[in-house]
Amino acid sequence: MRLTVIGTGYVGLVHAACMADLGHTVLGVDRDADRIESLARGRAPFFEPGLRELLHRTLQSGRLQFTTSLAAAARFARTHFVCVGTPQRPGSNAADLRFVDAALDELAPALRDLGGWCLVVGKSTVPVGTAARLERRLHKVAPQAEIAWNPEFLREGFAVRDTLRPERLVAGVSSPRADATLREMYAPLLRAGTPFICTDPATAELVKLAANSFLATKISFINAMAELCDAMGADVMPLVEAVGRDPRIGSRCLQPGLGFGGSCLPKDIRGLVAHAEEQGLGESVAFLREVDEINTRQRRRTIALARQLAGGSFRRRHVAVLGAAFKPGIDDVRDSPALAVAAGIHHLGGRVRVHDPEAVDNARACFPDLEFALDVPKACEGADVVLHLTGWPEYRAIDPAGLSTVVRRQAILDARHTLDAARWRSAGWAFRAFGRPRLGW
């Protein structure tokens, strides 16, 4: 099949490259001419495992092309995926739909001029009712066009795998023809056994928001339990194992730590609350406000624990921060808990030096007042406390005895629960982790 993908950000570029890899002929569209030129040369604008190789392969095959012209996209195919961003609206918790609206408004006249049935498929995360509103807006110009919604469930760091081997596909459609088109589009995945859940557009829109809200709730729940463990002398790790073995709950993502960040979970739970309140249903999702607050509190708790380990004050103290990306495997620093902690300590007078295997350039662009290092020993040189804030595998491989030769004080806070506490303590380090008071100092 032939299809276009409007927007070449995280979702759009991965979707375009993966659909081309499945055998479709794909035209990626973006207003940013520099980005399009770079993509045409095989250069991805962000780090995502496997994407660079996939981009090169599909470009060389001729199945993936790029353009800045939505008119060219309208002529290219009858199926158009809209993958533009829906960030949090400035000054509000609601989703900002300007980019979605702009894409539809620019595409609509080209669709009208071509005539004939076509399908516009939204993948952006939007408030419930957006598809219906967009279809009314589209029909004023191109009455033959139809809107469907096909939410994405990508995890950054696993985006290529999640697209080519998804746990499920959700399609919100209003006609058998739209249903058949999307089933044909995803036929290779359906043959491999991927569940295909066909529903109405409103339900499809809510699925993504509900999934992210539940995940955020699960993360904040176990962090709240870790806080109780700290206060009551219990150990959160055996608690996680015991609770997670309940099949009604499960252990996946029941991992205490610094909490969630990135471009999805924080804005999605806030957006759902804002939309529910607009509908007079704020009480139904009021718990999500506390989920958000628990997550934000983890950052404050990290700063407080770091200050204790540093001797009670950050003044004239050097703090080494291991991690800048909001999760390992990517270079995305949007709403990064690690950088929020680093910036908070800097504001309190600490001298902060940050290391990350992939995200240093992005972090420096956002926080130029922080110091950055290209290797771990340099980041930790003269440190009074080391903070492990992003769970990169490289940090698990650090030799604690070797690192002790460069720090001023052997104190580490493992805010991601991925380091071997016994190994660090045997090397003479004061080791602290959320919810594990039995580890001592």
Q: Which helix (H) or strand (E) holds 149?
A: strand 145-149
Contact 406, 341 (CB under 8 A): no
Neighbour count for residue 45 (Cβ, 10 Å): 14
Listed in sequence order, the residues at least 6 apart from 295 whose beta carbon sits closer than 8 Å to its beta carbon are: 216, 219, 220, 223, 259, 260, 266
Going by pLDDT thresholds of 50, 70 and 90, the confidence category of residue 104 is very high
Q: What is the pLDDT of residue 115?
A: 87
Q: What is the pLDDT of residue 439?
A: 65
Q: Are residues 192 and 218 in the same domain?
A: no
Structure confidence by residue, pLDDT tens digits, 244-282:
999 999 998 899 999 999 989 999 999 999 999 999 999
Instruction: Write out the residue range of the structural domain in which residue 21 sits.
Output: 2-198
Q: Are residues 238 and 182 in the same domain?
A: no
Q: Are residues 185 and 222 in the same domain?
A: no
Listed in sequence order, the residues at least 6 apart from 217 whose beta carbon sits closer than 8 Å to its beta carbon are: 287, 288, 291
Q: Are residues 144 and 96 in the same domain?
A: yes
Query: Which of the listed residues 198, 231, 266 is the one where a domain comes to its end?
Result: 198
Q: Are residues 187 and 283 in the same domain?
A: no
Query: Which of the listed residues 143, 164, 198 is the one where a domain comes to its end?
Result: 198
CA atoms of 383 and 378, how far apart (whole Å) = 10
With 0-12 CB in 10 A as exposed, 13-18 as middle and 19+ as buried, what is 368?
Answer: exposed
Is residue 204 in a domain? no
Is residue 191 in a domain? yes
Is residue 248 in a domain? yes
Q: Are residues 405 and 346 in the same domain?
A: yes
Q: What is the pLDDT of residue 57?
A: 97
The catalytic residue positions are 264
Is residue 203 in a domain? no
Is residue 110 in a domain? yes
Query: Which of the listed residues 198, 227, 245 is the one where a domain comes to its end?
Result: 198
Task: List the one residue out of 388, 356, 351 whose CA is nearest residue 370.
Answer: 351
Can you tell me the mean pLDDT for 74-98?
94
Is residue 366 in a domain? yes
Provide the CATH number for the domain around residue 137.
Answer: 3.40.50.720
Q: How far is CA 181 from CA 65, 71, 141, in A?
A: 21, 22, 22
Structure confidence by residue, pLDDT tens digits, 362-376:
999 999 999 999 999
Contact 109, 141 (CB under 8 A): yes
Structural domain total, the chain: 3
Can you tell me the mean pLDDT for 218-246?
96
Can you tell me the mean pLDDT for 429-437?
93
Provide the CATH number for the domain around residue 267.
Answer: 1.10.1040.10
Going by pLDDT thresholds of 50, 70 and 90, the confidence category of residue 441 is very low
Is residue 382 in a domain? yes
Q: Which two tokens stand for residue 221?
A: 């729940």
Going by pLDDT thresholds of 50, 70 and 90, the confidence category of residue 157 is very high
Q: Are residues 184 and 217 in the same domain?
A: no
Q: Are residues 16 and 137 in the same domain?
A: yes
Q: Are residues 34 and 151 in the same domain?
A: yes
Contact 305, 435 (CB under 8 A): no
Q: Are residues 260 and 175 in the same domain?
A: no
Q: Are residues 285 and 307 in the same domain?
A: no
Is residue 219 in a domain? yes
Structure confidence by residue, pLDDT tens digits, 335-392:
999 999 999 999 999 999 999 999 999 999 999 999 999 999 999 999 999 999 999 9
Q: At residue 118, what is the residue type?
A: C
Q: What is the pLDDT of residue 437?
A: 80
Can you tell me the mean pLDDT for 134-158?
95
CA atoms of 95 and 100, how far apart (whole Å) = 11
Percentage of residues in the chain having pLDDT higher than 70: 99
Q: At residue 345, what is the residue type?
A: I
With 0-12 CB in 10 A as exposed, 13-18 as middle and 19+ as buried, what is 407?
Answer: buried
CA atoms of 112 and 129, how far apart (whole Å) = 23
Structure confidence by residue, pLDDT tens digits, 180-211:
999 999 999 999 999 999 999 999 999 999 99
pLDDT at 438 over 80: no
Contact 14, 166 (CB under 8 A): no
Q: Are residues 6 and 91 in the same domain?
A: yes
Phi-psi region of 2 (alpha: psi -120 to 50; beta: other; left: phi over 0): beta
Neighbour count for residue 339 (Cβ, 10 Å): 29
Q: What rounded mean pLDDT belongs to the chain?
A: 95
Structure confidence by residue, pLDDT tens digits, 132-142:
999 999 999 99
